[in-house]
């Protein structure tokens, strides 16, 4: 049975799911007016993507880094107030 499914690669599905999650979170932030948080997400994505040489792996790393930054940085900023 493994012979029939050995050609299927689920990583693009995971990649798309992570990108969709990031876009949904950013859309929610825009709808709530959290423009600084969206700007931080975009800046982290751009920095990591540029550091990784604009590759597909770099895009995935940048997406995950932006998601993590978008979740953790607002919590850090709330504690500093």
Q: Does pTM top 0.85 for this prediction?
A: no
**Which residues have a Cβ under 8 Å from the Cβ of 8 and sit 6 or more positions away?**
none
In a domain, 46, yes or no: yes
In a domain, 16, yes or no: no
In a domain, 23, yes or no: no
Taking only the tens of pLDDT, the chain with its 81 residues reads 556 666 777 778 888 898 898 899 999 999 999 898 899 899 999 999 999 888 888 888 898 899 898 888 888 888 887
Q: Is 34 left (phi over 0), alpha (psi -120 to 50) or beta?
A: beta
In a domain, 48, yes or no: yes
In a domain, 8, yes or no: no
DSSP letter, residue 25: H
Which residues form the domain of 55? 28-81
CB 40 within 8 A of CB 73: yes
Number of domains in the chain: 1
């Amino acid at each position: 049975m493994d012979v029939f499914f050995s050609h299927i690669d689920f990583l693009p599905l995971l990649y798309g799911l992570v990108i969709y999650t990031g876009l949904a979170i950013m859309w929610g932030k825009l709808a709530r007016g959290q423009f600084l948080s969206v700007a931080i997400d975009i800046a982290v994505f751009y920095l990591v993507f540029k550091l990784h040489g604009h590759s597909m792996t770099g895009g995935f790393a940048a997406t995950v880094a932006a998601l993590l930054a978008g979740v953790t940085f607002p919590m850090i900023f709330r504690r500093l107030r």
